[in-house]
Amino acid sequence: MNLKFGWYALFALVAGSFAVAGQARAQTWPEKPITFVVPFAAGGGTDAFARPLAAQLDTQLGTRVLIENRAGAGGTVGASQASKAAPDGYTFFVGAAHHAIAPAIYPNLDYNLEKDFVPVALIARPPQVIVVNPDKVAAKTLPEFIAYLHANPDKLNYGSAGTGTTHHLAGELFKIVTKTRIQHVPYRGAGPAMQDLVAGHVPLVFDGLGSSAPQIRSGQLRALAVAAPKRVAAFPDVPTAAEAGVPGYEVSTWYGVFAPKKTPPAVVERMTKELQKAMQSAAIKEAWERNGSDVPDVTGAAFGAMVAAETVRWQKVVTEAGVKLD
């Protein structure tokens, strides 16, 4: 027997056995509830997309998909926890644009988004929106608001989901392009920031449209502009920042599902297919439109490449704005 041929045959046999075992695992998965780690407090933008998606997956998979909110440090506490979860296909991480920003803000992270996770799928990408409490801000248009800020530097505060989040950097970028001065107030997630905005404890938030959409519709909040290249179909009366006199001010957030590194590829592939199926359901399409997002179809390596590009982009913004931990 040719020894070299024998080793090749043995390798092929072992590899084939693993492949068969992986496919068998994917066919029987899931055999117990799945957890989606959401790294922000309940009620924020991540929740606005993660919860409907989990409910749709409940129906498709025939098992519970549980949401576990782990807030703190601009979403990095939950990310750290998820990166260390058992890679058995029963824990997934719902990350956001904030996590592409985090490496530029937190130099001592104990996880690496690109190395410690497997990108599964981009699930939503709503634009940011400039929202104010109408009882605290008299301006009804963005030009009126900017004029007020110029006349009253440092008088207003703006809330964010935390230092280093897209809410925070959207505010800092706004200050740069409009040459205004507003003080930053970080919260432990978009949910608490929105609660204080509605209550009037903070007058302004640069928010992801997904979490503020209900309050805009109810009249509790006033949307001055969306930071997008075109108007959002769900809010046709809200102008873009460019239309309102601030060209070049475009900020969108995104949300995606990741798996801990070493999660079986067959399970990742199965989850990818289930997510794609869920995203095409009538329930998700309706919810996404209501929250001002399209329904993306970006998975696997393409999603990973997008995350890498976002990390580079936000590093430049952080440097230019001089953002540091509060």
Rounded CA-CA distance 122/95 in Å is: 9
Helices (H) and strands (E) in the chain, counts: 11, 11
* pLDDT at residue 26 in the model: 61
Q: What is the pLDDT of residue 12?
A: 46
The whole-number pLDDT of residue 102 equals 93
Q: In the chain, what percentage of residues exceed pLDDT 70?
A: 92
Task: Return the CATH number of 128-244, one of 3.40.50.1000, 3.30.43.10, 2.40.30.10, 3.40.190.10.
Answer: 3.40.190.10
Quick check: 20 pLDDT over 50? no
Percentage of the chain beyond pLDDT 90 is 76
Give pLDDT, residue 14: 45
Categorize the per-residue pLDDT at 323 as very low, low, confident or very high, splitting at 50, 70 and 90: confident
Query: Which range is least confidently modeled, 8-12, 151-155, 182-186?
Result: 8-12
Q: What are the start and end residues of each CATH 3.40.190.10 domain in the chain?
A: 128-244
Q: What is the pLDDT of residue 23?
A: 55
Assign 29 to helix, strand or coil.
coil
- The pLDDT value recorded for residue 6 is 54
2, pLDDT greater than 90: no
Average pLDDT on 16-34 reads: 68
Average pLDDT over residues 155-168: 91
How confident is the model over 93-102, as pLDDT tens digits?
Answer: 999 999 999 9
pLDDT of residue 8: 47
Which tokens belong to 224?
């001055």
Reference 221, options 148, 130, 156, 128; nearest CA is 130
| Average pLDDT for 81-110 | 95
Residues of the chain with CATH 3.40.190.150: 34-125+254-321
pLDDT digits (tens, 9 = 90+) for 225-255: 999 999 998 899 999 999 999 998 998 889 9
Q: 24 versus 64: which is more confidently predicted? A: 64
C-beta of residue 190 within 8 angstroms of C-beta of residue 162: no
Is the pLDDT assigned to residue 3 strictly greater than 80? no
Instruction: Please state, in angstroms and rounded to a whole number, the distance separating the CA atoms of residues 170 and 184.
Output: 11
Return the percent helix, strand and coil in the chain, to nearest 5.
Answer: 45, 20, 35
57-85 mean pLDDT? 95
- pLDDT value of residue 248: 87
Average pLDDT along the chain: 91
> pLDDT tens digits for 163-201?
888 899 999 999 999 999 999 999 988 889 999 999 999
What CATH superfamily is the domain 34-125+254-321? Bordetella uptake gene, domain 1 (3.40.190.150)
Per-residue model confidence (pLDDT) at position 300: 98
Among 227-231, 297-301, 321-325, name the most confident range. 297-301
| The predicted structure's pLDDT at residue 24 | 54
Task: Compute the distance between CA of residue 131 and CA of residue 234 in angstroms, rounded to an integer.
Answer: 16
Q: Which residues are within 8 A (CB) of 36 and not within 5 positions of it... i.e. 6 or more apart?
A: 50, 54, 65, 66, 67, 68, 92, 93, 94, 257
